[in-house]
């Protein structure tokens, strides 16, 4: 399934994209359904959603055309966003750094989340804004001290994620939270593809572009620490809750390590593409 949160920012409703590009409004299809995906996952109702989709008519009040509908972050209100630094072999190589023995964790503020087509706003105080294409997975079941071999049962699905980064703040602060957490610095989506539809998340083409210029062109087979190992490592430090987002790192080609460096400018269009997960596209605008 491709699950979405649709509607105006702050008023998103849970939905599922149908094969004919229709959009099923889950709360109309089943009024008992919670008002957001975080609550649906927490209630362990994903299998129930599959049954609703299978039996739902393709016309009627619960189905609308996808065209013209804003798709927000698939999960709009995660308790946390955990990111992994230096987790692609080619990204470590472009920095002449050794591969990390254990995952390098940092966080982004959930208020940075934004959806497909929403603008990335360049902060007036941050002149060096960069992008990072990332595969993200969403937690489907509470995970605490999970073993790697049991990890898959805690993964709801996968989506495109753009770890937009303010490099001036990131390097001046000597830690990453502020530079990674400006408002609009976490576009994701446009949908989440459920885990059952992705046989191997470590064998997907991944890339990014700004307008027609390709920055990143790689594969998730370059991941150093993979999904089961990441979930095991993180869940032994903190409890992961349904709806939490884990962004798994970015491959080589980001703007800051190019010669000369390439940073975002107002008027550009950023696109993140991951095989089988679709593409996430956002315009770049100046702060007002």
Each residue's pLDDT tens digit, 62-121: 999 999 999 999 999 999 999 999 999 999 999 999 999 999 999 999 999 999 999 999
56 pLDDT exceeds 90?
no
59, burial (CB in 10 Å: exposed 0-12, middle 13-18, buried 19+): exposed
Question: What pLDDT does residue 159 have?
Answer: 98
What is the DSSP track for 54-111?
Answer: HHS-SSSTTEEESTT--B--SSS--S-EEEEES-BHHHHHHTT-PPPSS-EEEEE-GG
- Interval 112-124: pLDDT, tens: 999 999 999 999 9
Q: What is the mean pLDDT of residues 155-181?
A: 97
Grade residue 59 by pLDDT with cuts at 50, 70 and 90. confident
CA pair distance 225, 232, nearest whole angstrom: 11
Q: What is the mean pLDDT of residues 179-205?
A: 98
Question: What pLDDT does residue 230 have?
Answer: 98
Grade residue 259 by pLDDT with cuts at 50, 70 and 90. very high
Give the CA diameter of the chain. 57
Give percent of the chain above pLDDT 70.
100
| Beta bridge pairs of residue 85 | 104
134 pLDDT exceeds 90?
yes
Comparing 60 with 90, which gets the higher pLDDT?
Answer: 90
Question: What pLDDT does residue 189 have?
Answer: 97
Please answer whether residues 251 and 206 qualify as being in contact, where contact means their C-beta atoms are separated by less than 8 angstroms.
Answer: yes
Token pair of 27, please? 């709360």
**How are beta strands 22-25 and 13-17 bridged, if at all?**
antiparallel
Dihedral sign for Cα atoms in the order 265, 266, 271, 272: positive
60 pLDDT exceeds 90?
no
58 pLDDT exceeds 90?
no
Domains delineated in the chain: 2-65 (no CATH), 81-286 (3.90.850.10)
């Amino acid at each position: 399934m491709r699950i979405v949160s649709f509607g105006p920012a702050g008023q998103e409703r849970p939905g599922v994209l149908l094969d004919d590009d229709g959009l099923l409004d889950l709360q109309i299809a089943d009024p008992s359904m919670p008002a957001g995906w975080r609550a649906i996952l927490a209630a362990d109702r994903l299998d129930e959603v599959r049954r609703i989709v299978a039996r739902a008519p393709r016309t009627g009040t619960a189905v609308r055309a996808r065209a013209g509908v804003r798709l927000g972050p698939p999960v709009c209100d995660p308790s946390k966003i955990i990111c992994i630094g230096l987790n692609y072999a080619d990204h470590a190589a472009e920095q002449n750094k050794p591969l990390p023995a254990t995952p390098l964790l940092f966080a982004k503020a959930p208020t940075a989340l934004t959806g497909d087509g929403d603008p990335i706003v360049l902060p007036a105080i941050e002149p060096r804004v960069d992008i990072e294409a990332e595969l993200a997975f969403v937690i489907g079941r509470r995970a605490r001290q999970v073993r790697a071999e049991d990890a898959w049962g805690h993964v709801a699905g996968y989506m495109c994620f753009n770890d937009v980064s303010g490099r001036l703040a990131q390097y001046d602060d000597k830690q990453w939270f502020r530079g990674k957490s400006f408002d609009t610095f976490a576009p994701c989506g446009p949908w989440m593809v459920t885990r059952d539809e992705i046989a191997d998340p470590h064998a997907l083409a991944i890339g990014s572009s700004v307008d027609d210029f390709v920055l990143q062109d790689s594969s998730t087979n370059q991941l150093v620490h993979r999904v089961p190992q990441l979930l095991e490592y993180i869940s032994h430090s903190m409890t992961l809750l349904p709806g939490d987002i884990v962004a798994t790192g970015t491959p080589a080609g980001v703007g800051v390590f190019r010669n000369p460096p390439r940073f975002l400018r107002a008027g550009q269009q950023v696109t993140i593409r991951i095989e089988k997960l679709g593409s996430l596209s956002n315009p770049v605008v100046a702060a007002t």
